[in-house]
Amino acid sequence: MDDQRTHIISALVLHKPGVLQRVAGLFTRRGFNIESITVGTSEQEDIARMTIIAKGDGKVLEQITKQLNKIIDVIKVRDLEPENTVKRELCLIKVHSPTEKVRAEVVQYVNIFRGRVIDVSPETLTIEMTGASDKIDALIDLVKGFGIKEIARTGPTAMSRGIKTI
Amino acid sequence: MRGGEALLKSLENQGVDVVFGYPGGQLLPLYDMIYDSDLKHILVRHEQCAAHAADGYARASGKVGVCIATSGPGATNLVTGIATAYMDSSPIVAIAGQVPTGLIGNDAFQEVDTIGMTMPITKHNFQPITSKEIPEMVKSAFYIAGTGRPGPVVLDLPKDVQEQELDFENDVKITLPGYKPTRKGHPLQIKRAASLIGSAKKPVILAGGGVIISNSSEELLKLSELVGAPVTTSLLGKGSFPEDHDLSLGMLGMHGRLPANFAVDKCDCLIAVGCRFSDRTTGKISEFAKNAKIVHIDIDPAEIGKNVDVDIPIVGDAKIILSNLIRAISQNKMSSKSMEWVNRVKNFKQTCIPKMSFDNMPLKPQQVIKEISEAVDDDTIMTTDVGQNQMWMAHYFTSRKPKTFLSSGGLGTMGFGFPAAIGAKVAMPESDVVAVCGDGGFLMVSQELATVKEYDIPVVICVLDNRYLGMVAQWQNLFYEKRLSHTHLGESPDFVKLAEAFGVAANRVERPGELREVLSSAINSGEPTLIDITIDPDEILPMVPPGCGLTEIVGEYKTESNNSEDVPYRETAKERAGD
């Protein structure tokens, strides 16, 4: 129970104003470490799905899920098992690429990582990359040398593999 | 029907008979509608006291208390009262005015983000943007406040919504998919607990406020007698078990009774019911009940394992779980009730009955509590303020019935006692209500003397007047080299004259033997009365220093059997406990 590890918490919440504040406020208030939080619509109308990446030992995680469950607008909370979970993050990277040669090189890397170039200007290329967070880190590392103008990452969103739902 | 009227109608449907409130600009429409309604409204003199009064009403009656204040400063003044109710799981619905929807977010006059501000101190909060949301929100608010682990709910009511027309429906449905409190305990867990408790040689029960909230005092008494488990309580659990019972240990914790602290240290099985193991109750966690297996019964799953690791958690309503537990234990004749343990505890109790009679002047607080005890009956509702007055009452006063000892435990809000007494008296007009306050805390809310006078609410206020912020001074004396930094309050005011200025009857008591008579006649007068009791500022209550185990007590403990006033509490106590 003492091992500090990263947890993927999936929560179904009522799609209402203030619900993100209720959840985020809880984390600050109780001193829980939160790495990222994503919110979006779910398969059900009026219900949003939140994916929270948080660090802590088993005891902390138990408190996080219990305290989340106490929020009236939170319907369901589940700690997803990492090995049985698909987890993806979206990242946009704007790379400084003033010459033909640099652009060709960047495009090559992007292809290897199965990313896409979604915007080109005389000075920049903007890459879209979806994948596991460590893959995104690796691509960022590779193109860093050319000069990165901007990065926007969503933080991971996740769900259980197979037929299981929460 | 307009939004404000829908609110009033919804309150009526919830059975609300009285509200404590204070009007203001953004509540003008609602108050105009109250003018025409039958709702009883008590105008307090400060919004904080509206919240405390609603809280006192709730704690004394078990019903949801209601308070109303305007936007901005009205709402911020409610905050302390709401947080107090939240920490002690008291069901109140606080209604706040808000600027019109079109102005929200513009830093309008008297605008404050009430929803954001009260999120961390409420079970939930609502802000209707259209009037047609009001009936469902009010119904949900009362349902949430009063069920599960009770707590405060805020309704933030914009001015324009109060005036907006709607079609009112009486039987509105509420949908709260994220709120399903567990009531029945898990049968397997109950079975496991029954066999653990049944085989325990030295069981102790720790009863918290949850026992009182769930009305399970009867079950608690039954279980205690069935298995021979002495009962200690948290501060909020005081009254859940008759403290004159053979098996009562009194309060546990930092200012706990000696037998309670030692029994918890020695027990092999601790049955904690409806309590949250606050740091003031447990002392140093690693030392707490270190020889015991712990059963924890609570309706809030988040309390399980939060502060103390437990062996058998049971989530649900204490009343249901305790009855099932009793049935399981008696059916299987599992109880190996140990008379040896019961007798040992009884004998230990006999050796440390606190000395209550002192003929000193200024009066010793023990003598004061003794005389208060003699003047009130079992049904008298006692409220306390926060600080030494509270701990003296908790330590020395004998409570016999649930919902008769009201005190701000978790938040420790000075100024709670008097307004809570007002709420309690309004809720339970047939009961006598006595507020025991310190001079510091009472002065924070003394303007409510106007309220008790205007509405003729006959509460009696005992001001334990030592001209010090006694508890802080006690800590300064014990842990800060007696450097009494800003804890002396000086000679002002004269509390008797203060009360008289409000038209409230007042007396001063300075001599031993006087208070009993004065308090009795104040109670019998049927009028609000203040009694200013001059007490000794130097009396220190024995305590467990923060961060220490429950048996590491400092300070002198004066007992009936040992009149030497300078016996170090710690040594003798350990000796007596048979270490």
Q: What is the pLDDT of residues A31-90, one digit of tens each?
A: 888 999 999 999 999 999 999 999 999 899 999 999 999 999 999 999 999 999 999 999
B127 labelled catalytic: no
- The least confident of B132-146, B338-352, B539-553, B555-569 is B555-569
Same domain, B309 and B406: no
The yes-or-no verdict on residue B565 having pLDDT over 80 is no
Contacts of B150 in chain A (CB under 8 A): none
By C-alpha distance, the chain A residue nearest B129 is A17
**The last residue of a domain, from among B163, B195, B229:** B163
> How many domains does chain B divide into?
3
Q: Is there a domain that residue B129 lies in?
A: yes
Same domain, B382 and B347: no
Q: Is there a domain that residue B322 lies in?
A: yes
Same domain, B69 and B107: yes
Same domain, B523 and B421: yes
Which residue, B318, B296, B293, B319, is CA-closest to B306? B296
B414 band by pLDDT with thresholds 50, 70 and 90: very high
- The least confident of A113-122, B185-194, B373-382, B557-566 is B557-566
**CATH code for the domain in which residue B242 is found:** 3.40.50.1220
Vertex B10 angle, CA B6 and B13, to 5°: 140
Q: Sort B492 into a burial class: Cβ within 10 Å, 0-12 / 13-18 / 19+.
A: exposed
Same domain, B386 and B244: no
Q: Which of A70, A71, A73, A78 to mutate to test the interface with B (most CBs of B within 10 A)?
A: A70
B567 band by pLDDT with thresholds 50, 70 and 90: very low
Distance CA B36, CA B371 (A): 46
Same domain, B511 and B381: yes
Closest Cβ opposite residue A71 in set B116, B178, B306: B178
Which residue, B236, B243, B271, B268, is CA-closest to B257? B243
Q: Is there a domain that residue B515 lies in?
A: yes
B109 labelled catalytic: yes
**The last residue of a domain, from among B329, B351, B373:** B351
Which residue, B291, B313, B290, is CA-closest to B301? B313
Cα-to-chain-centroid distance, residue B427:
16
Q: Is there a domain that residue B544 lies in?
A: no
Q: Tokens 């037998």 correspond to what residue?
A: B259
Percent of chain B topping pLDDT 70: 96
Q: Tokens 């048996």 correspond to what residue?
A: B551
On the question of a cis peptide bond just before residue B493, with omega within 30 degrees of 0, the verdict is yes
> What does DSSP say about strands A85-96 and A74-80: parallel, antiparallel, or unpaired?
unpaired
Find the mean pLDDT for residues B379-385.
Answer: 98
What is the structure's pLDDT at B70? 98
Distance CA B351, CA B328 (A): 35
Which residue, B206, B200, B215, B213, is CA-closest to B308? B206
CATH fold, domain A5-80, is Alpha-Beta Plaits (3.30.70)
Same domain, B149 and B292: no
Same domain, B83 and B197: no
Contacts of B305 in chain A (CB under 8 A): 59, 62-63
Which residue, B47, B45, B23, is CA-closest to B35? B23
Find the mean pLDDT for residues B411-435.
Answer: 98
What is the structure's pLDDT at B541? 84
Q: What is the pLDDT of residues B242-275, one digit of tens each?
A: 999 999 999 999 999 999 999 999 999 999 999 9
What is the structure's pLDDT at B575? 55
Residue B405 β-bridge partners: B382
Paired tokens of A13: 């919440």
**CATH code for the domain in which residue B528 is found:** 3.40.50.970
Find the mean pLDDT for residues B198-225.
Answer: 97
Closest Cβ opposite residue A18 in set B115, B120, B179: B115
What is the structure's pLDDT at B335? 67
Contacts of A75 in chain B (CB under 8 A): 177-178
Domain that holds residue B328: 187-351
- State which H helix or E strand residue B521 sits in: helix B514-525
The single residue of B5, B47, B219, B303 carrying the catalytic annotation is B47
Say if CB B72 and CB B25 are below 8 A apart.
no
Paired tokens of B54: 């609603």
Q: Sort B398 into a burial class: Cβ within 10 Å, 0-12 / 13-18 / 19+.
A: middle
First to last CA, chain A: 24
Which CATH number is A86-158 given? 3.30.70.1150
Q: Is there a domain that residue B19 lies in?
A: yes
Which of the two residues, B336 and B249, has the higher pLDDT score? Answer: B249
- State which H helix or E strand residue B442 sits in: helix B439-444
> What does DSSP say about strands B231-233 and B203-207: parallel, antiparallel, or unpaired?
parallel
Distance CA B376, CA B330 (A): 37
Q: Among the residues of B332-378, which ranges form H helices? A: 339-351, 365-375
Q: What is the pLDDT of residues A100-140, one digit of tens each?
A: 999 999 999 999 999 999 999 999 999 999 999 999 999 99
Residues in chain B, how many? 579
B119 labelled catalytic: no
By C-alpha distance, the chain A residue nearest B306 is A63
Q: Do A72 and B120 touch (CB under 8 A)?
A: no
The CATH 3.30.70.1150 portion of chain A extends over: 86-158
Distance CA B372, CA B462 (A): 9
On the question of a cis peptide bond just before residue B362, with omega within 30 degrees of 0, the verdict is yes
Q: Among the residues of B332-484, which ranges form H helices? A: 339-351, 365-375, 388-396, 417-427, 439-444, 449-454, 470-479
Which residue, B342, B313, B182, is CA-closest to B248? B342
Residue B67 β-bridge partners: B20, B94
A4 band by pLDDT with thresholds 50, 70 and 90: confident
What is the structure's pLDDT at A142? 95
Paired tokens of B341: 């343990």
Residue A80 β-bridge partners: A8
The yes-or-no verdict on residue A141 having pLDDT over 80 is yes
Q: Is there a domain that residue B570 lies in?
A: no
A1 band by pLDDT with thresholds 50, 70 and 90: very low
Q: Tell me phi and psi for residue B338, to 5 degrees.
A: -100, 110
What is the structure's pLDDT at B574? 52
Same domain, B91 and B150: yes
Which residue, B447, B443, B424, is CA-closest to B435? B424
Paired tokens of B61: 């009656």
| DSSP-based three-state secondary structure for B310 | coil
Q: What is the pLDDT of residues B144-154, one digit of tens each?
A: 999 999 999 99
Same domain, B417 and B279: no
Contacts of B177 in chain A (CB under 8 A): 14, 75
Distance CA B67, CA B44 (A): 10
What is the structure's pLDDT at B570? 47
- State which H helix or E strand residue B54 sits in: helix B47-61
Find the mean pLDDT for residues B386-393.
Answer: 97
What is the structure's pLDDT at B568? 42
Same domain, B205 and B115: no
For chains A and B, CB pairs below 8 A equal 38
Q: Is there a domain that residue B493 lies in?
A: yes
B425 labelled catalytic: no
The yes-or-no verdict on residue B207 having pLDDT over 70 is yes
Vertex A20 angle, CA A38 and B78, to 5°: 165
Say if CB B3 and CB B411 are below 8 A apart.
no
Same domain, B24 and B159: yes
Q: Do A25 and B119 touch (CB under 8 A)?
A: yes
- Give every CB contact of residue B242 below 8 A, 6+ residues apart in sequence: B221, B248, B399, B400, B401
Q: Among the residues of A1-129, which ranges form H helices? A: 19-29, 58-70, 100-112
The single residue of B444, B471, B502, B558 carrying the catalytic annotation is B471
Say if CB B404 and CB B59 are below 8 A apart.
no
Which residue, B436, B435, B434, B490, is CA-closest to B466? B490
What is the structure's pLDDT at B556? 74
- Give every CB contact of residue A48 below 8 A, 6+ residues apart in sequence: A12, A13, A14, A15, A19, A39, A40, A41, A42
Q: Is there a domain that residue B52 lies in?
A: yes
- Give every CB contact of residue B105 below 8 A, 6+ residues apart in sequence: none
**The last residue of a domain, from among B298, B317, B351:** B351
- Residue B15, chain A, CB below 8 Å: the answer is no
- Residue B188, chain A, CB below 8 Å: the answer is no
Q: Tell me phi and psi for residue A126, to 5 degrees.
A: -115, 125
The CATH 3.30.70.260 portion of chain A extends over: 5-80
B110 labelled catalytic: yes
Paired tokens of B281: 């109750």
Q: Do A13 and B178 touch (CB under 8 A)?
A: yes
| DSSP-based three-state secondary structure for B501 | helix
